[in-house]
């Protein structure tokens, strides 16, 4: 390897037990760059919860899997209910910079020690990489580390993305690392100012734990699986009620030919338990699980459902395809719909009309051979597109170009040509 590069990652929460796609994405990239011999640091807060940004973890420096982690206390967390009120107003009056800034402060997190370190790292490091656009620390930090700033925006089709404060922030980094075609197209269409050099990089995937024939699933009945934060699982509730109660739905055909009515299928949720699912028929709620158990749950499921409307890259879809499982996604999420269409790996549901969504699940997933075909399409898609060597090369190209003063646009185009 050539001379080690110096990376600093800025993310709101960090750690092995932190549940969240952006946080997991950041940790995976940071740890693998460190394993390549680079000098990698992470600047983060003392928070576990994005709902409050309260300080729950000890401040100070530590090391996790070869990465130096610096935690800084949050001085101003999420200000409820003003965060939601200002978000709605700023999203309606998109042109107002002041309203957008007010919303950003009400959402947080504000950790002055972290921002001071960002300023210092912007002078000394090769690349300061910010994860997630819609955070106060990103809006403020991009200005502190301007000449070395790289943004992994993770933008969704949600109202705050279109506020002036967010659109202006998109023009500030030296480079943008996007996850999907849909995300990059959205950024290009809304950025207020010059568009920075950008590329679709996403992330790589490790092989899942192999299927263990001796593993006992949480139910002997066939089950659909929902993985992730509580807010993402909520849209499934009404569709599940419809799926359990509607007549005339084609039964679920299992691999050995048995046909099972949907009233006997189970829904298993993993991540955060929800009161809305308590007592709901045929629902099994599990807490946070490790990667090995997560893989077994996927291998044994009928399909993974991601009801979320807001995704920049759905890791759980990729994990499901690795485990030869088809998926079902929300028709109102352009990113996951795009992933399904490019891969042929799943079905698209109308979660706004529960009975229609239930019918789409029952018809789309009923045949064993069709589920197998979708799963195979998804598996090929992930193998071809999400390779760690390709991803890490992109981060190195950006950091080296910033250090050496090389023009970034041509560097990223060269990376794209070599990655094909």
Domain ranges in the chain? 6-204+387-413, 223-384
Share of the chain above pLDDT 70, in %: 99
The reported pLDDT for the residue numbered 21 is 80
CA distances from 133 to 39, 68, 109, 214 (A): 24, 23, 13, 43
250 CA to centre of own chain = 33
Mean pLDDT (the chain, rounded): 93
Helix, strand or coil, per DSSP, at residue 283: strand
3-state secondary structure of 161: helix
% helix, strand, coil for the chain, step of 5: 45, 20, 40
Residue 390 has pLDDT above 50, yes or no: yes
Indicate whether 19 pLDDT > 80. no
Give the pLDDT confidence score for residue 266 in this predicted structure.
97
What is the pairing mode between strands 223-228 and 303-306?
parallel
In whole angstroms, what is the distance from residue 77 CA to residue 390 CA?
Answer: 37
What per-residue confidence (pLDDT) applies to 420?
Answer: 44
pLDDT, tens digit, 9 for 90 and up, residues 305-318: 999 988 878 889 99
CA distances from 69 to 80, 116, 149, 322 (A): 29, 15, 19, 30
**Residue in 170, 190, 172, 162 with CA at minimum distance from that of residue 90:** 162
200 within 8 A of 225, measured Cβ to Cβ: no
Q: Which stretch of DSSP H or E encloses residue 72? A: strand 67-72
What's the confidence (pLDDT) of residue 1?
A: 52
Enclosing H/E stretch for 24: helix 21-35
What's the mean pLDDT in 295-309? 95
pLDDT reading at 289 higher than 60: yes
The band of 17, judged by pLDDT with boundaries at 50, 70 and 90, is: confident
Q: Choose the CATH number for 6-204+387-413 among 3.40.50.2000, 3.30.300.30, 1.20.81.30, 3.30.450.20.
A: 3.40.50.2000
- The answer to whether residue 241 scores a pLDDT higher than 80 is yes
* pLDDT tens-place string over residues 185-236: 999 999 999 999 999 999 998 889 999 999 999 999 999 999 977 667 788 9
The yes-or-no verdict on residue 418 having pLDDT over 80 is: no
State the average pLDDT over residues 71-77.
Answer: 97
Looking at domain 223-384, its CATH architecture is 3-Layer(aba) Sandwich (3.40)
Give the rounded distance of the alpha carbon of 393 from its chain centre. 21
Which range has the worst mean pLDDT, 7-11, 270-274, 373-377? 270-274
- Closest to 282 in 3D by CA, of 252, 257, 326, 318: 252
- Per DSSP, the residues of 110-123 read B-HHHHHHHHHHHH
| Within this chain, domains 6-204+387-413 and 223-384 share the same CATH topology | yes
Q: What's the chain's length in residues?
A: 420
User: Per residue in 111-137, is it b (16+ CB within 10 Å) or e — as a string?
Assistant: bebbbebbeebbeebbbbbbbbbbbbb
């Amino acid at each position: 390897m050539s001379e080690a590069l110096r990376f600093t990652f800025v993310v709101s929460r960090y750690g092995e037990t932190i549940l969240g796609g952006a946080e997991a994405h950041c940790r995976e990239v940071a740890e693998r760059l460190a394993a390549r011999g680079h000098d990698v640091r992470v600047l983060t807060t003392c928070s576990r919860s994005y709902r409050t940004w309260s300080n729950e973890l000890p401040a100070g420096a530590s090391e996790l899997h070869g990465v130096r982690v610096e935690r800084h206390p949050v001085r101003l967390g999420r200000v409820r209910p003003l965060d939601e009120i200002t978000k709605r107003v700023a999203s309606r009056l998109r042109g107002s910079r002041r309203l957008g800034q007010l919303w950003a402060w009400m959402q947080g997190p504000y950790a002055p020690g972290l921002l001071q370190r960002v300023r210092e790292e912007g002078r000394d490091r090769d690349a300061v990489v910010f994860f997630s656009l819609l955070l106060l620390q990103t809006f403020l930090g991009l200005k502190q580390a301007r000449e070395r700033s790289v943004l992994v925006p993770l933008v969704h089709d949600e109202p705050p993305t279109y506020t002036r404060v967010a659109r202006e922030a998109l023009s500030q980094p030296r480079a943008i690392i996007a996850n999907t075609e849909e995300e990059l197209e959205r950024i290009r269409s809304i950025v207020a100012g010059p568009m920075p050099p950008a590329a679709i990089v996403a992330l790589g995937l490790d092989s899942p734990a192999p299927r263990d024939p001796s593993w006992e699933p949480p139910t002997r009945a066939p089950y659909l699986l929902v993985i992730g934060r509580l807010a993402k699982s909520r849209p499934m509730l009404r569709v599940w009620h419809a799926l359990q109660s509607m007549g005339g739905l084609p039964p679920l055909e299992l691999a050995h030919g048995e046909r099972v009515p949907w009233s006997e299928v189970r829904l298993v949720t993993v991540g955060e338990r929800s009161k809305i699912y308590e007592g709901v028929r045929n629902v099994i709620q599990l807490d946070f699980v490790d990667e090995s158990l997560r893989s077994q749950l996927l291998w044994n499921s009928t399909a993974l459902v991601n009801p979320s409307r807001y995704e920049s890259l759905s890791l759980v879809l990729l994990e499901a395809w690795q485990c030869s499982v088809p998926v079902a996604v929300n028709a109102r999420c352009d990113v996951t719909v795009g992933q399904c269409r490019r891969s042929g790996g799943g079905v698209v549901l109308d979660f706004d009309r529960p009975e229609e969504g239930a019918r789409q699940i029952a018809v789309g997933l009923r045949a064993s051979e069709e589920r197998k075909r979708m799963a195979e399409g998804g598996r090929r898609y992930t193998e071809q597109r999400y390779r760690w060597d390709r991803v890490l090369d992109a981060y190195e190209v950006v950091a080296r170009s910033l250090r050496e003063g090389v023009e970034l646009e041509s560097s990223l185009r060269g990376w794209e040509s070599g990655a094909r």
